[in-house]
A and B are shown apart, each in its own frame.
Chain A
């Protein structure tokens, strides 16, 4: 029996505006287990970002329960690096916020940065880095305080196609080698297939689970190799149908 890191149980969330109310999600139940890489895909406008805010505890559900074990690291669509801080100070940001600037944490952050090729850029400013490198720095920032679960909100959607494939490759490798649990939200089917160990398909608003699939690819975890695998197109076809059902 694996450890449940994050679980949604019968979650309902209503958005209130002056013009009325919108039910973003209803009867939503799914779990993320330790070490899993789960991708949530859904038609656009199904409230995916709301789900991440719920998962991160930034929103409280109207009904139902979201439970999480351990700390959460959040990675957004854009890198959101602070332009007035050097890469090193950007990476330190979560440690600063959580008052954990002890030598051990700092050393950890530094080692991570060096291990993943940011060593020579530590004193650079974000504007001096390429889009791919910036996104990598954003990931290292997320990993710096050693969160138990990573929440990824379409973290590659702001990049051009070429960079996107490279960064996806990058991020997949880093997340797996650090043994992290991750929840990815995306509308990009091929991204979900190339990255995830499990895909959860959501319905239109109000979002609930339409289908769930384990992707095994015979143990192949490399995103580019997965894209070349013949199972890839089969999965794509299936998920496409389920998304547009």
Chain B
């Protein structure tokens, strides 16, 4: 939108202005709502409407995060959880995409294994908890495994349906040019699945956080999930709330990274 604004009619300028105001109102209301909720939370504890021992409060959360920082453990816990989440996320996405490609390639393989995938998808992964502890011990390995377990099947199902939805007419076109199956995959199936890949990443980010925090509930000695469990056990709800707030920020950050990736990668589609 770098066109010379002087070329526009008065009406169009007014339209643009209205749009800008519209956007500004939405943004202001978003921030305003957050501020209002924080203020209400803070005031309700100060004025004695609620017990800060049970509900914590924004100021107590800030001071808890501050003291974690002074103890030097804040970034340690964040780092542990981030690493587990990222490693699990990347493994789930990579393995999931490869399996989905194999299923696209071999119809027999897909038809034989599909019921297994459906059942594994329905299985609550937390049920694997004891097995994971026995197989992988109580370290980060177990948590990464849990993260992969939660995300993998979703990635497979999401990508497989994207691959299978490739426009049959475009496949016909490539075949009429004499394309091999590998060429069809490389030139058509993979690039046309890019938007689906991005939307899968958005889902997988959420799954990875579920997996890593669930894993930390099960076995960990460090990380944000560990802080939450520990805080709950010793009734330090300030700690629980603080870790939760940090999680919110991190999860949002990871989501926005994916959105950024989308802006870079997905530029040209027919829609």
Q: How far in angstroms is the closest Cβ of chain B from A125? A: 5
Residues of B contacting A53 in the complex (Cβ-Cβ under 8 angstroms) = 172
Q: Is B233 an interface residue (CB 8 A)?
A: no
Residues of A contacting B172 in the complex (Cβ-Cβ under 8 angstroms) = 53, 58, 74, 76
Q: Is A43 an interface residue (CB 8 A)?
A: no
* Cα–Cα, bound, A97→B192 (Å): 17
Among B175, B179, B183, B188, contact of A82 (Cβ-Cβ < 8 Å): B188
Q: Is B167 an interface residue (CB 8 A)?
A: yes
Given contacts A97-B187, A98-B178, contact A80 B173 (CB under 8 A): yes
* Cα–Cα, bound, A98→B268 (Å): 25
* Cα–Cα, bound, A85→B270 (Å): 11
Residues of B contacting A72 in the complex (Cβ-Cβ under 8 angstroms) = 176
List A residues 50-82 near B (Cβ within 8 Å).
Answer: 53, 56, 58, 72-74, 76-78, 80, 82
Chain B contact residues, majority secondary structure:
helix
Q: Is B174 an interface residue (CB 8 A)?
A: yes
Q: Is B19 an interface residue (CB 8 A)?
A: no
List B residues 171-210 near A (Cβ within 8 Å).
Answer: 172-179, 183, 187-188, 191-192, 194
Asked if A84 and B269 sit within 8 Å, CB to CB, the answer is yes
Given contacts A80-B173, A83-B270, contact A97 B178 (CB under 8 A): yes
Asked if B169 and A78 sit within 8 Å, CB to CB, the answer is yes
Q: How far in angstroms is the closest Cβ of chain B from A159? A: 16
Q: Is B170 an interface residue (CB 8 A)?
A: yes
CB-based nearest A residue for B174: A97
Residues of B contacting A76 in the complex (Cβ-Cβ under 8 angstroms) = 169, 172-173
CB-based nearest B residue for A81: B270
* Cα–Cα, bound, A186→B183 (Å): 30
Asked if B191 and A84 sit within 8 Å, CB to CB, the answer is yes
Residues of B contacting A125 in the complex (Cβ-Cβ under 8 angstroms) = 268
Residues of B contacting A93 in the complex (Cβ-Cβ under 8 angstroms) = 174, 177, 187
5 CB-based A-B contacts, threshold 8 Å: A82-B170, A83-B268, A94-B177, A97-B178, A97-B179
Interface residues of chain B, those whose CB is within 8 Å of chain A, are: 167, 169-170, 172-179, 183, 187-188, 191-192, 194, 267-270
